[in-house]
Amino acid sequence: MMIFDRYIGLRILINTLLVLLVLLAIDVFFALVKEFRDIGQGLYSGWYAVQYVLLTIPRRAIDLFSMSALLGSLLALGSMVSSNELVVLRASGVSIARIVRSVLQAGLLMFILVAVVGEWLAPFSEQLARENKAQAQSQQIAYQSDHGIWVKDDKRFVNIRNLGLDGHLEDVYVYEFDDQHKLTMVTQAAHVSYDEGQWILEDVKFSALSDSGIHISKQDKVLWDSLLNPVLLNMLARDPDYLSARDLWAYIIYMDKNNLDSKSYQLAFWNRMVMPFSGMVMLFLAVPFVFGPLRSVGVGQRILVGVLVGVFFYVFSQMISHISQVSGVNPIVSAFFPSLVFMLIGIWMLRRAA
């Protein structure tokens, strides 16, 4: 049985990687076409566009992997059905449940690797891509650290501790220097917004530094004359879908402590947690399909069915996510619900096929 497991696993792995390469090539091509439309904005050139797309490949591969696993397993098992290999195995006493186990064993190894890439490589390369693009388009120097975003604004350095997806800034520090690079003023604002071409600081504290000491003053609201580009900040905003699970959890804790809405981050976190399970469900679905309605059809029909199932699963998952954000459904429930529904459908189909 070890030889049997390795054989099925290798067939699924090879077909999954081939499908992934094809889907990735198509996705990268359309991404390049989209990025080339932005050439000419600031210093954004063709090289920056190519660099941006290349750096986003790890994230794109992860997004496409579940679909690739479904199509790859359909093709692998379908070819084994067409060549009567699975028929011989069934006749020799191998149960469908045993075949399912072999398929899931192969999937487990693949999705462990995907989880590692998704946790470490993809978030890093995605953020680097967004930073490079933002700096090229806005022509402003920006740096992202554990203490937020740092941006050079003429003779000032701006530290943004929390950048919301809606464009609002929280916990902003502005450090002003004179011509001798001596710190002269520290401005701290609890909230910053951009409205009709003007930055607005709220709940502001000024600390003026001089030889005689530090003079502190406060104001509720101040108009801020800054060259800070909103386009830069929009690009640097940390989309929950592109963060690692560790960063998402840290954001959730921070936002909950500060009474901020963390619902989108919670949903992204649990979607990240459920991703390996969702991928295993996609692999599992291939078995009842090849033993049931796709037993005697051609390769083209198997690909079509796989694409339709993958697209429907994606649309269904997105619909549940949006409903969850609006209705306040528990993020854990909304993250696992689509996969559980498809798993139950697969079990029902498998029982019929058996």
Where do the structural domains in the chain lie, given as residue ranges? Answer: 2-138+241-353, 142-228
**Single-letter residue type at 112:** I
Paired tokens of 26? 């198509």
- Secondary structure letter of residue 43 according to DSSP: T
CB 265 within 8 A of CB 252: yes
State residue 296's pLDDT score: 64
User: What's the confidence (pLDDT) of residue 234?
Assistant: 66
| Torsion angle defined by CA atoms of residues 106, 108, 114 and 116, in that order, rounded to the nearest 10 degrees | -130
pLDDT of the residue at 251:
80
- What does DSSP assign to residue 293? T
- The size of the chain, in residues, is 354
Residue-level pLDDT at 50: 94
d(CA 66, CA 69): 5
DSSP labels for 206-243? EEEEETTEEEEEEEEEEEE-----HHHHHHHS--GGGS
pLDDT (0 to 100) of residue 227:
66
* Residue 294, both tokens: 């796709």
pLDDT of 20 reads 94
Q: Mean pLDDT per segment of 10 residues, for the chain of length 354 residues? A: 80 92 96 91 87 95 91 86 78 80 87 88 88 75 70 82 73 87 88 82 88 86 78 68 84 78 85 90 86 67 80 89 82 91 89 73
Strand ranges, E, within the chain: 142-145, 148-153, 156-163, 169-177, 183-195, 198-210, 213-224
pTM of the complete model: 0.77
Using an 8 Å Cβ cutoff, are 75 and 15 in contact? yes
Q: What are phi and psi of 212, to 5 degrees?
A: -85, -10
